[in-house]
Chain A
Amino acid sequence: MLTKRIIPCLDIKNGRTVKGVNFVNLRDAGDPVELAKKYAEVGADELVLLDISATIEERETIYELVKRVGAQVDIPFTVGGGIASVEKVAHILRNGADKVSVNSAVVYRPILAKEISDEFGAQCLVVAIDARQVDGEWLVHTHGGSKPTELKLFDWAEEMQSKGAGEILFTSMDHDGTKAGFACEALAMMNERLTIPVIASGGAGSMDHFVDVFTKGKADAGLAASVFHFDEIGLSELKGYLRQKNIEVRI
């Protein structure tokens, strides 16, 4: 049976892992390759490397890092952050990443999703969507959730699916950083509307939140950062717990 995936997300700045809450009070957390290897060894199903570098110069360091992760890590990994062209996607995939995630760039130029999917296949395109509820309506936000748009979450996810996205990575800004659980209702609705897999992000605080995201939220995968980085939840412990709750996971 296909298992539910647990995906740690590493925030990368200038080639180093950083830890912080909501991108505030960032501190250096070491070499991403070592952390990626550690996660792979304790049972991560995939990894996401999110480049949060602020400058173009810093962003150039991502290629070297992708190469090192690809050489040393034997599970799939996705690279996101500041990807706005087919050329950059080609460069990242050729350096050894399995997938890319795009976010703000496809909001400004939706056809980019189709260009990437046509060129490299849907399997390597994850469209990341940050959204929060505004007057009861889920609206897409860009730039790490800081800029609101007029786009409605579910319509936008459907449009990205039709443009060739292989997966949707949905982060609820309302839940992100709260550690109060994932946006299960919105996730279930998204699964209802889409035919492609959905990765849930934002709100993980306990092992039961992962149970909920897979049962109530119908998500295919659960992504989290800080609960894993700060050792609040151990990956192997989490997987044992999920299996106890009859959720299929790889152990």
Chain B
Amino acid sequence: MIVMIDYDAGNTCSVMNALDRLEADYILSSDPAEIQSADKVIFPGVGHAGAAMEALKRKGLVDVIKGLKQPVLGICVGMQLMVEQSEEGDTNCLGVVPGVVKRFEHSEDHNVPHIGWNTTMKKSDDPLFENIEDQSYFYYVHSYYMPENEYCIASSHYDVTFAAAIRKDNFWGIQFHAEKSSKLGAQLISNFLKIND
């Protein structure tokens, strides 16, 4: 069973729509036991990192997520919450991946938020990017980013090079919105659903 973590993340509905289009069997849940017994966990996220962490604390899910052993896919803020800290509201995050999330600085040719379709460079042969070519376009919308690090499996560039996708052990994260990235986004989600099967 695939479980999507229910903590009122802004893109919950969009991710559900994407899963429905793939005819995936999933449930939406904030119940620790259900999340812990899932085959795979999807961790959505849009909005403010601080507010998102508060919502996870309220629902008693911080330690639950940190302790997960099955494949977990964090999307956008879901990925950003995996690090130790975010500059957004100076938020202490889950810390399953080392690092700090920073804010983009505005420059003449780089408005913030970073919104739109950007090329995404594969950094390793991870199953998440199977059948997805290097330099493919995915849809991004964010003001904060994770700098490139050793867990980076794909990167993108917007004034600075940043982590487009990461993997540490069973935790995967994507900065872009696969659920809104047309056919390649669907391919990526479908790849995640096939991991370990």
Contact = CB atoms under 8 A, between A and B. Distances in A.
Interface of A: 1-5, 40, 45, 70-72, 74-76, 93-96, 98, 120-124, 166-167, 191, 194-198, 220-221, 250
A93 B10 contact: yes
Given A40-B182, A74-B182, A93-B10, A220 B118 contact: no
B115 A75 contact: no
A242 to B, nearest CB: 13
Interface residues of B, number: 37
Contact of A197 (B20, B115, B157, B177): B115
Interface string B1-40: 0000000001101100110110000000000000000000
Interface string B85-121: 0000000000000000000001000011111111100
Given A3-B118, A71-B20, A74-B182, A197 B139 contact: no
Contacts, number: 96
A105 to B, nearest CB: 21
A117 B170 CA distance: 33
Contacts of A74: 18, 21, 179-183, 185-186
A209 to B, nearest CB: 20
A71 B46 contact: no
Given A121-B47, A123-B141, A2 B118 contact: yes
B118 to A, nearest CB: 5
19 contacts: A2-B116, A2-B158, A3-B118, A5-B117, A45-B117, A72-B21, A74-B182, A76-B141, A76-B177, A98-B180, A120-B10, A122-B113, A123-B142, A123-B143, A166-B115, A166-B141, A167-B115, A191-B111, A196-B112
Nearest to B119: A1
Nearest to A77: B180
Contacts of B142: 123
A84 B45 CA distance: 25
Contacts of A94: 13
B192 interface: no
Contacts of B180: 74-76, 98
